[in-house]
Structure 1
Amino acid sequence: MLSDFRLLATGQTLSWIGNGFQTVALAVAVVRAGGGAGDLGLVMACSVTAILACSLFGGVWADRLQPQRVMVASDLVRLAAAALMAALFFGDAYHLPLLCLLAAVSSGAGSFFNPAMTALRPLIIPVGRRQQANATLSMLQTGSSVIGPALGGVTVAAFGAPAGFTVNAASFLASMAACLLLRARATRGPRSSMLSELGAGWREVSSRDWLLGGMAGATLYHVANGVILVLVQVIAIERLGGASSAGFIAAAEGLGGTIGAAAALRFKPRHLLRAGWLTLLLMPLWALAYVWPAELLAVLLGAVVGYAGLIFFDVAWETALQDQIPQSSLGRVSSWDQLTSYLAMPLGNALAGPLSARYGTSPVLTAAAAVLFVAALSQLLIPGSRRLTRATSTTAAPTPPPELVEATGN
């Protein structure tokens, strides 16, 4: 099991770093080709639309097939898309519709990979070590989100955007190779119709108060956070020192995430989910630092504290899913969870401009921070969120209710 986890962690770290190269390469390629913000926004919108369209289907296939097969297929598609992007800009043949298509294909394939990876984890991580493993992956992902764009910026500046896309394609090849070497196997039963299996996944969600309430709270949270993420970028550029300040803030967020993951490695509260919701209450401090005292040092401290709480919560949430959801349904439940996040965030992004224009940036940020606080605090009113205990090596794995077994054929 542990050798499989090391393979997964290595492949994913390389893939996460590669994604940072593509983020930089895409922005530089579009702008230098004369596309501007409008074209870049359209490409990003196509990516989000593909995620929304594919998420639930990705969850079904993650539960139908061996998870690593889905992951390999996803990596293969994303490798091809990244390679074609490199070829597109290497030849100076800027073609916006084709770029939008490639971005959508890549993001859609990623929507199949993520539920499959979630479904795979319980197969390769012993029950008693899930929290540590999730914290380790969160730490690696957080570090990659800082290292990837930094290395990507240097590479793209030196060799051009096609080099960034090429590195990302190579990272998918590394991830695919790691997945092919995984030995874990899931038990899969007969299939039913797509709608039936989607419905069975939703019943897994709705039958647990902590899960249904958590997804509702996360939806509200992501709307508010979508507003915040737009406004704080504007404030950082216009009032806190420009691009260099934005870079320092991103680094502070990465540092906070690393601290949160390290805390999750060390501390193992029995009521892990309750502890996670409590640490998420730190995130409003990050948003409010832009309002008062609105100084760079305060924002940096707020970013460290807030993101430490966010990543600790992420570890707690992922561990709760793996502990409490039958492995045969975990991909579908994960896809429902992913869908609510991607529905809510763009809505918040779209609301940021009109709300700030009407009411002012500081009042909107304050209100959004209050929504973050309420979204997290409200979960402590749900009995399941308060009482859910962390599984141990002696805890029996949960089994699906009989009606779900009948619906999925598992």
Structure 2
Amino acid sequence: MPRISDFHLLATGQTLSWIGNGFQTVALAVAVVRAGGGARDLGVVMACSVTAMLACTLFGGVWADRLQPQRVMVGSDLVRLLGAAAMAVMFGFGEYHLPLLCALATITAGAGSFFSPAMIALKPLLVPAQRRQAANARFSMLQTGSSVAGPALGGLTVAALGAPAGFAVNAASFLASMAAALLLRVRTERGPRESMLRELADGWREVSRRDWLVGGLFGATVYHIANGVILVLVQVVAIERLGGATSAGFIASAEGLGGVIGAAVALRLRPRRLLRAGWLTLMLMPLWALAYVWPAQLVAVLAGAVIGYAGLIYFDVAWETAIQDNVPHRALGRVGSWDTLTSFIAMPVGNVLAGPLAAAYGTNRVLTVCAAVLFAAALSQLLIPGTRRLTRAAPEPPAPPTPAPAPASVQA
């Protein structure tokens, strides 16, 4: 019986984990609201999660580069499994304690910020360099599909069995992810450790040596502030003007479909200057935001969502592949954590600004300006020489054929 490859092990474990996260997203909202916590308590819990991610992401990158990545992933999954199980037990007994829930959310989110850099460091080890783009595209396709299937299945499960069942499924999904990580056979060299601050600084030096990477991080920061505004306002427009919760569900499905299409295109379309192509496809995202302004019809918004998210996911594949190809593996976790941090910092800023900006200038005007910012943030990257010139890693030469064994008479 042939062995399952490390790539397929990781893909299977992660798909189950991503689907499980969708169960917890639904379960958390339902549990808090039904316990009488309302939007205020839910906001506090979510804020604790974001704060923990921001506080731990860079340290997660350091440990991903210090240890074998799968060891970090196993530890992260174990902590998150216990956290989700504790939430299931608390709500299963009909108890609701906001401080305890905030503590559990903080611990699980902090553990999750160790998992992401470790997986960033692990993925390039699983396939040859010439297959990285295809591997990243497959992971994006699985993640996007899971982001649609997870909440849908979670909603049905929570409606039928209650919120504790959603938390329990998420805990089981972390167990599956942990089992997959334990079975991985790949190993990598790790150098001597230095102080935490020195290793953090070394990770930033790897970023600062590459103009396309520095520009991309700062461009992403601007992009995510504007996108944070958009993500709040389009929900309001969908509910107030486009048909309510049903329309919001259709739009979310269209976004997921677009993501799957973008990943499928990335499987086939492999230009030599992949990063430049990625930034070009990201310029499709403003079409999604502008569709809410004009013609402001559900059909147009659905089309814009498919087109925009296809461009976004193609860019994600191109960006991740460029980092894998051009950053030394010894620093990949730390560089990935700097990349994650810029996004996490920027998005909540945009979320907070959305309401005041819309009240002051009107929703349509703010959406139009933010769409222009998205376009400008992507277009500006093409002014950076490294972005325009960066090419894919050269394919690895094929291994020489193995000679057939000599006949027994010759061996003797």
The question of a shared fold, defined as TM-score above 0.5 by the shorter chain, is answered with yes
Conserved? CA contact 1:286–1:303, under 8 Å: yes
Conserved? CA contact 1:28–1:161, under 8 Å: yes
Conserved? CA contact 2:128–2:396, under 8 Å: no
Residue 158 of structure 1, aligned match among 160, 174, 196 = 160
Separation in structure 2 between the aligned mates of residue 128 and residue 364 of structure 1, nearest angstrom = 42
Separation in structure 1 between the aligned mates of residue 393 and residue 29 of structure 2, nearest angstrom = 43
Conserved? CA contact 1:2–1:124, under 8 Å: no
Separation in structure 2 between the aligned mates of residue 62 and residue 153 of structure 1, nearest angstrom = 34
CA RMSD of aligned residues (A): 0.9
1:273-288 counterparts in 2 under 5 A?
Answer: 273-288=275-290
Conserved? CA contact 2:225–2:346, under 8 Å: yes
Which residue in the other structure is 1:52 paired with?
54
SS in 1 for 2:265: helix
Separation in structure 2 between the aligned mates of residue 373 and residue 267 of structure 1, nearest angstrom = 22
1:42-191 counterparts in 2 under 5 A?
Answer: 42-191=44-193
Conserved? CA contact 2:148–2:256, under 8 Å: yes
- Cα offset for 1:392? 3.1
Separation in structure 2 between the aligned mates of residue 317 and residue 176 of structure 1, nearest angstrom = 27
Give structure 1 stretches of 5+ with no counterpart: 396-410
Separation in structure 1 between the aligned mates of residue 28 and residue 150 of structure 2, nearest angstrom = 14
SS in 2 for 1:378: helix
SS in 1 for 2:289: helix
Residue 361 of structure 2, aligned match among 342, 352, 359 = 359
Which residue in the other structure is 2:407 paired with?
none
- Cα offset for 1:391? 1.2
One-letter identity of the residue aligned with 1:25:
A
- Cα offset for 1:2? 7.7
Separation in structure 1 between the aligned mates of residue 25 and residue 394 of structure 2, nearest angstrom = 39
Conserved? CA contact 1:132–1:265, under 8 Å: yes
- Cα offset for 1:357? 0.4
- Between stretches 9-18 and 383-392, larger displacement belongs to 383-392
One-letter identity of the residue aligned with 1:186:
T
TM-score (norm 2): 0.95
Separation in structure 2 between the aligned mates of residue 104 and residue 300 of structure 1, nearest angstrom = 35
Conserved? CA contact 1:2–1:125, under 8 Å: no
TM-score (norm 1): 0.96
Please state if 1:341 is matched with 2:337: no
Which residue in the other structure is 1:195 paired with?
197
Conserved? CA contact 2:227–2:347, under 8 Å: yes
Which residue in the other structure is 2:401 paired with?
none
Give structure 2 stretches of 5+ with no counterpart: 398-412
Computing the radius of gyration over CA atoms, which structure comes out larger, 1 or 2?
Answer: 2
- Cα offset for 1:50? 0.2
Q: Percent identity?
A: 78
SS in 2 for 1:225: helix
Which residue in the other structure is 2:409 paired with?
none
Encode CA deviations 1:274-306: one digit per residue, 9 max, x unaligned.
Answer: 000000000000000000000000000000000
Separation in structure 1 between the aligned mates of residue 21 and residue 59 of structure 2, nearest angstrom = 23
Separation in structure 2 between the aligned mates of residue 355 and residue 125 of structure 1, nearest angstrom = 46
One-letter identity of the residue aligned with 2:109:
S
SS in 2 for 1:241: coil
SS in 1 for 2:5: helix
Matched residue count: 395
Encode CA deviations 1:310-369: one digit per residue, 9 max, x unaligned.
Answer: 000000001001000111000000000000000000000000000000000000000000
